[in-house]
Amino acid sequence: MSTEHVARTDSTDRAATSGDSYDNLEPRFGALAAMDPHDPARARLRAEIITAAMPLGENVARRYAGRGVEYEDLAQIAAVGVVLAVDRFDPGHGASFLGFAIPTIMGEVKRYFRDSTWAVRVPRRTKEIQQQLAKVLPELAQRLGREPKAREIAEHLGVDIVEVTQGLIARNSHTADSLDAMLTATDDSSTYSPANTLGNVDAGYALMEDTLTAGPLLAALPEQEREILIMRFGQEKSQAQIAAILGVSQMQVSRILTRVLGELRAQCLQPV
């Protein structure tokens, strides 16, 4: 890491904890508020303020790095928060810009984590409970000397135990592992894909699909042809046995089977 980067990081961190580095921005906000919205000079001054305040966004982005989102993406979200802070700050309310900007920027980053970084779709209420759990679980664990139970968490938050349970489950929903990822076995150095550990395809699904397709076609056959198919494939009778039952020749049974099976196959393969 370069000396220049370390110096920039240190100065930014100090700016986030002390308002001295941004005190000079507040008089400029007063000038900005006094300008006509259509004045080109106002746009230039606004851009200057945003540029000067951008290190705040970079600092917030670094605080949230390492949580499954690239720093560059977090920096962009934080930059949006900087712009919002500049546009919303009112020096007439008496608060410092730093005290207003940091919560605004952090709010944008937290909102991004809440709404955009889930591997599966989770209801907003569940996301809110999950965020509360991140703060409550360590507090309760320290107080109780053990991991808190769902009932205890629910009582502490004043919410239904079902919501807490859903929030606990949702904690595992931010990311999803790829079935194609190569993992290392625990007993040796060999690698394997999770997809290869899954069960085989159930042949019953194909049978069900065939039944749904062929069922209506079989029901529409003439009674004798349907009986021949049932005896041949359902009861596993030979063509000679079927011929003897129906009082016809084996050649006739063979011809009927060939014709009926060909017609059924053609009908099954017709596009829907």
Instruction: DSSP letter for 22, please.
Output: G
Q: How many Å apart are CA 83 and CA 50, to the nearest integer?
A: 6
Q: What is the dihedral of CA 82, 85, 86, 92, to 10 degrees?
A: -160
pTM of the model as a whole: 0.42
Q: How many Å apart are CA 265 and CA 272, to the nearest integer?
A: 14
Q: Which of 113-122, 190-199, 256-265 has the highest mean pLDDT?
A: 256-265
pLDDT surpasses 90 at 54: yes
Bridge partner residues of 81 (DSSP)? none
pLDDT in tens, 43-53: 999 999 999 99
What's the chain's average pLDDT? 78
Q: Contact, 185 vs 192, CB < 8 A?
A: yes
How would DSSP label each residue in 159-222? S-HHHHHHHHHHTT-S----TT--EE-SSSS-EE-GGGGSPPPPHHHHHHHHHHHHHHHHHTS-
pLDDT surpasses 80 at 60: yes
Place of tokens 């320290």: 142
Q: pLDDT: is 163 or 128 the higher one?
A: 163
Bridge partner residues of 191 (DSSP)? 184
Q: Residues 6 or more apart from 163 whose CB is under 8 A from it?
A: 125, 126, 129, 154
pLDDT in tens, 154-205: 888 888 888 888 777 766 655 556 666 666 766 666 776 766 666 666 666 6
Mean pLDDT for 94-109 is: 85
